[in-house]
Amino acid sequence: MKKIQIFSISLGFLIVFLLGFGANVLFFNDDSIEVYANNNMETIVIDAGHGGYDVGCIALDGTQEKDITLDIASSTGELLEEAGYNVVYTRTSDNVSWPEDNKEDLQSRIDIAEDADANYYISIHINSSDYNDGASGYETYVDFNDDEMVEMAESIHAQLELLNYAQDRGLVDTNETPLYVVSNNSIPALLLEVEFITDTNDFNYMVNNGDDLSQAIANGIMNSIEAEEISKEV
């Protein structure tokens, strides 16, 4: 969250003002008060796929998926934080705390989300196939029985479509094609494959327009949450 530091202001007035807006005073001393605003906003877990011992797929030039997902996930999370959302990251570097075991790796990511009592879990990945075999585009794995997450996936795809960088491969039902971080997660979850690292056009776009991809993903998430909130008010 963005931190606001305020100096030389009436403490009583400030507390009344903050309580009126649902903010919490986390710390203060004689000189300053630090506030983390918008504590009532949703908590979103951003999961950068792979990491540490697990490099993921590899581009022709040697670029590893784990590095791409970390860049996109970090940028997406920053945009959500700037908008006031609480963001929790499964990793913020290539140093991971979990064992070199795939199942324990994936379960550790879920545990982070559940410990945070998150509202949403968004996992960022990069797809792969045989090099330049024609496979390209973005797709999302989601539980088709979870209407809210299906709508969020569609919202993200709508934003990615505006970039016109690759084809929309659609949504994949995890009831038919299970993925651990979605199928075994108590937090509403989806896994987005942003592009194909093995397609030259996809890869070049990602290298040169990573910020655009992050912005589209963040916009899709926020638009979906806002639409859900509006529907609850009707």
The per-residue pLDDT for range 65-112, each reduced to its tens digit, is 999 999 999 999 999 999 999 999 999 999 998 999 999 999 999 999
**CATH number, domain 43-233:** 3.40.630.40
User: Taking the CB of residue 132, how many other CB atoms lie within 10 A of it?
Assistant: 14
For 108-119, write each residue's pLDDT tens digit: 999 999 999 999
- How far out from the chain centre does Cα 108 lie? 16
Give the SS3 label for residue 224. helix
**pLDDT level of residue 39 (50, 70, 90 thresholds):** low
Distance CA 105, CA 115 (A): 16
On the question of pLDDT at 6 being above 90, the answer is no
Distance CA 191, CA 220 (A): 14
pTM (2 decimals)? 0.83
Residue type, 100: E
Distance CA 107, CA 41 (A): 25
User: Taking the CB of residue 29, how many other CB atoms lie within 10 A of it?
Assistant: 7
Taking the domains of the chain in order of start, what are their residue ranges?
3-36, 43-233
User: Taking the CB of residue 138, how many other CB atoms lie within 10 A of it?
Assistant: 26
